[in-house]
A and B are shown apart, each in its own frame.
Chain A
Amino acid sequence: MGVEIIPLLFVVGIVIATIAMGLWATRLSRTTSDFYVAGRGVNALWNSSAISGEYLSAASFMGIAGMVMKFGYDVLWYAVGYAAGYVFLLLFIAGPLRRFGAYTIPDFAEGRFDSKGMRKMAVVFALAITFFYMMPQMKGAGITLAQLLGSPYWLGVVVVGVVITLNVILGGMKGVTLVQAMQYWVKQFAIMVPIFILFSVTGAGYGANVKAAGVLNTADGTAITTISKDTPTKYPVAGELKFTSDGRIVVAETTTAKFTPAPTTAMPAPATSLISLEADKPFSGLKGQKLTFPDGAQVTLKAGMTIPNVAAGDRWLHAFGPFTSKYGDDYSMLYTYSLVIALLCGTAGLPHILVRFYTNPDGREAKKTTLMVIGFLSLFYVFPAMWGSLGRNFIPALYANGATDLVTIRLPETIMTAFGQPVVGQVLTGITSAGAFAAFMTTFSGLLVSVSGGFAHDIYGRMLRPSASQESRLAAFKIAAAFGGAVAIGLGLLVETFDINMLVGWAFAIGASTYFPLLLLGAWFRDLTKAGAAAGMIGGGAGAIGSVVFSMLVDKGILSAPAPLIGALTAQPAIWTVPLALTLMFVVSKLTSSMVPADADFKMLKLHAPEQLGLRADYIKD
């Protein structure tokens, strides 16, 4: 396929626009306060655009559409949960957090309990969550650029990493605020406008596509479907086709592939052999077999062929399908609730989002901002599922090579080419590619500001050298940004084989089990003590991180699979780790009631009293 010029121009355009806006904003960015929280004077429209821009990551722009295509109905919960998490944030956290007048969550942790130890613990969890969240952004950048350029995976990771790191170093958060606000609108445009064009060209709307996708099925209801058009697909890297259901493929050119037969229970592990695949002769694969193609091999699904790896239509259309019933139908309900809890509570536990609430001038403005964010995100999250259902009908080749994550990139080209408008298709793919790049770049820059702020403000400015001058704090911020960017690029290079949504899920589960309980009880439970808060964060955090690492090792085959119930509870731990953290905080606080800060009433007053009463004292003055 080679280099795709038009989409590439769009991507280069968005990258240059990002750099230019960052440089331009540098002139507005002078003081330490500007660098951290944009001087507090960011109005609600700017700030809510920027929060939405920062929040809509690779997982939202590419991941949900891809997973809806792959798994169907159950994945709609991701779209709902990502938006609905802000309702919890609004009801319990946004206003009080802003009123307390701290820059970062570690500031809150220290100020609420008068404890340096709590600051340290909060910093550690913030960095852990943030680095987890950076990895999928890097991965998204790597695979998207690989699609457009035919470039190796690492190039996309390095390009995005370097551009954003420079942008943060030069512009700080004010630069980032401008860029993010703009990029929310880029993403909204890119997810919305092309899909309407595709609906009108194909002549069927959302409902018709969902319905059609829901009946792609053979008579006996097994996971097989047939297609009506030839759809070629390229394996982005030396590709592996694992037949999770029966299916047929042909290759465009004669090639040899490594063939691994399906394992059987009676025999030892099957030996891999080399087989030769002739051009245009169909190969029938059985469930469990695996083909490994050389780099660049092209596979075609001819009209009428059964496609490998597709979930049956009714399983796709209805609740408790292949995604939530991974650990058996008995636990699909448990899995659903646990996923929803992680998404609802996890949003209110993401440090890079929470830091944004300090950029509001006051608590009232913070609430207004959150309301607007809920509106913006609702408008966005209606669309990914449309891409997923259209993708299921029109580009089933993505199932065959396990590349459903690329549906927002590939779909416009594929459909418009089939309808005789390849150039329009390239332009539309250019728009969605630019949207995807906007997604990696904004989320990554927000995360990098959060990490750099953590190092420079919490570790350097508060722990190592409290007497540091403003200049040296600023220098520390820039050094930390360079360091954080380098670490993120390094981590990004390691995660090529990991699933984007798995990585994002980790960050949400950890945030929901640590920061969310801290903020919820910190704001509303007067008698919360530092011992209670610490016990809850450690208990919830250990439970979540332990579960995540455990299920990852199982996934990679390093540990053997546990009983289905344990599997479900470790793959989606929030249903027990969030209550565990909350309970520990409550019980331990009751047991250590002598540690309740003497001025707890005043702290509660500061958290909840309107600013007009004149209680506010911001942590950093300049």
Chain B
Amino acid sequence: MGTKMDLMGKEFVTTLMRRQFTLSASIAAVFVTIIAVVPLLNRYLPDVMNTEFMGMTVSWFFLGFAIFPILIGLAWLFVARSNAFEDEAIGMVDVATLPRHNDTAAGSAGLGHHGAS
């Protein structure tokens, strides 16, 4: 990243949103595919889905247990990637274009403040 971007410039907001959205949309695609495929398997491969597994059926085990760690994993992946990207985005901005005022209720925002604890 050679030149820094103007905070208020069109280029910065477009880049920011495109990258955030690409991340969200790719994780959503994985997530929706996993969810959407279950009814299809139940309908078209019932013999596989109704096989006994862990005392119950494959299908019951998936919705009753296995899907929850998957949800947590996808959510964790998103948060880690999204935060890493935000740190990068801060570095992309030309410091001269940052607002100097501090206009928040708590007075806690502004350059250098890291909200995450």
Q: Is the CB of A364 within 8 A of B116?
A: yes
Query: What is the bound-complex CA distance between A143 and B24, given in angstroms?
Result: 42
Q: List chain A residues, Cβ under 8 A from B46.
A: 318-319
Residues 9-66 of B at the A interface (beta carbon under 8 Å): 10, 12-13, 16-17, 20-21, 24, 27-28, 31, 35-36, 39, 42-43, 46, 49-50, 52, 54-57, 59-60, 63-65
Q: List chain A residues, Cβ under 8 A from B114.
A: 612
Q: Is the CB of B113 within 8 A of A374?
A: no
Residue interface bits B69-89, CB-to-A below 8 A is 1, else 0: 101101110110011001101
Q: Which of these binds chain B: A126-134, A205-213, A571-579?
A: A205-213
Q: Is the CB of B106 within 8 A of A614?
A: no
Known contacts A210-B55, A362-B109, A612-B113; is-contact A381 B68 (Cβ 8 Å): yes
Q: Is the CB of B12 within 8 A of A605?
A: yes
Query: What is the bound-complex CA distance between A336 and B40, given in angstroms?
Result: 10
Q: List chain A residues, Cβ under 8 A from B65.
A: 382
- Tell me which of A73, A83, A206, A601 contacts B13 (CB under 8 A): A601
Query: What is the bound-complex CA distance between A156 and B110, given in angstroms?
Result: 50
* Min CB gap B36→A, angstroms: 8
Q: Is the CB of A612 within 8 A of B105?
A: no
Query: Which residue, of A83, A207, A333, has the highest number of chain B Cβ atoms within 10 A?
Result: A207
Q: Is the CB of B71 within 8 A of A378?
A: yes
Q: List chain B residues, Cβ under 8 A from A168.
A: none
- Cβ-based interface call for A368 (8 A): yes
- Cβ-based interface call for B2 (8 A): no
Residue interface bits A592-605, CB-to-B below 8 A is 1, else 0: 00000000011011
Enumerate 27 A-B pairs (CB-CB under 8 Å) in ascending A order: A44-B117, A83-B68, A95-B82, A206-B55, A208-B55, A317-B50, A318-B59, A319-B42, A319-B46, A340-B35, A361-B106, A362-B109, A364-B115, A365-B115, A367-B83, A370-B75, A375-B72, A378-B72, A381-B68, A524-B17, A601-B13, A608-B17, A611-B109, A612-B111, A614-B102, A618-B104, A620-B105
- 8 A-B pairs with least C-beta separation: A207-B55, A362-B115, A319-B42, A378-B68, A76-B63, A210-B56, A618-B105, A91-B24
Beyond contacts A612-B112, A614-B111: 10 other A-B pairs, Cβ-Cβ < 8 A, are: A87-B75, A207-B54, A210-B60, A367-B83, A368-B79, A370-B79, A371-B76, A385-B64, A618-B106, A620-B105
Q: List chain B residues, Cβ under 8 A from A622.
A: 105
Query: What is the bound-complex CA distance between A317 and B98, given in angstroms?
Result: 60
- Cβ-based interface call for A125 (8 A): no
Classify the secondary structure of B's interface with A: helix
Query: What is the bound-complex CA distance between A41 and B83, given in angstroms?
Result: 20
- Cβ-based interface call for A80 (8 A): yes
* Min CB gap A604→B, angstroms: 5
In this complex, what residue of A is CB-closest to B93?
Answer: A613
Q: Is the CB of B55 within 8 A of A374?
A: no
Q: Is the CB of B16 within 8 A of A605?
A: yes
- Cβ-based interface call for A621 (8 A): yes
- Tell me which of A211, A320, A364 contacts B55 (CB under 8 A): A211
Q: List chain B residues, Cβ under 8 A from A526.
A: 17
Residues 59-97 of A at the B interface (beta carbon under 8 Å): 73, 76-77, 79-80, 83-84, 86-88, 90-92, 95
A-B contact count (CB 8 A): 184
Q: Is the CB of B56 within 8 A of A368?
A: no
Query: What is the bound-complex CA distance between A319 and B63, given in angstroms?
Result: 11
Known contacts A368-B116, A382-B68; is-contact A320 B7 (Cβ 8 Å): no
Known contacts A371-B79, A375-B72, A609-B89; is-contact A320 B42 (Cβ 8 Å): yes
Q: Is the CB of B71 within 8 A of A319?
A: no
Q: List chain A residues, Cβ under 8 A from B56.
A: 206-207, 210-211
Interface size on B, residues (CB 8 A): 66
- Tell me which of B12, B59, B75 contacts A73 (CB under 8 A): B59
- Tell me which of B67, B82, B93 contacts A80 (CB under 8 A): B67
Q: Is the CB of A364 within 8 A of B89?
A: no
Query: What is the bound-complex CA distance between A215 and B17, given in angstroms?
Result: 53
Q: Is the CB of B27 within 8 A of A91?
A: yes
* Min CB gap B18→A, angstroms: 10
Known contacts A364-B86, A365-B115, A378-B72; is-contact A91 B78 (Cβ 8 Å): yes
In this complex, what residue of B is CB-closest to A317?
Answer: B57
Q: List chain B residues, Cβ under 8 A from A374.
A: 71-72, 75
Q: List chain A residues, Cβ under 8 A from B67.
A: 80, 84
* Min CB gap A461→B, angstroms: 16
Q: Is the CB of B113 within 8 A of A367?
A: no
Q: Is the CB of B105 within 8 A of A621?
A: yes
Query: What is the bound-complex CA distance between A378 and B67, given in angstroms?
Result: 9
Q: List chain B residues, Cβ under 8 A from A43.
A: 117
In this complex, what residue of A is CB-closest to B102?
Answer: A614
Q: List chain A residues, Cβ under 8 A from B78.
A: 90-91, 367
Known contacts A340-B35, A344-B35; is-contact A609 B28 (Cβ 8 Å): no
Residue interface bits A120-148, CB-to-B below 8 A is 1, else 0: 00000000000000000000000000000
Query: What is the bound-complex CA distance between A614 and B113, given in angstroms?
Result: 9
Residues 358-384 of A at the B interface (beta carbon under 8 Å): 361-365, 367-368, 370-371, 374-375, 378-379, 381-382
Q: List chain B residues, Cβ under 8 A from A609.
A: 7, 13, 16, 89
- Cβ-based interface call for A617 (8 A): yes
Q: List chain B residues, Cβ under 8 A from A258.
A: none
Q: List chain B residues, Cβ under 8 A from A605.
A: 7-8, 12-13, 16
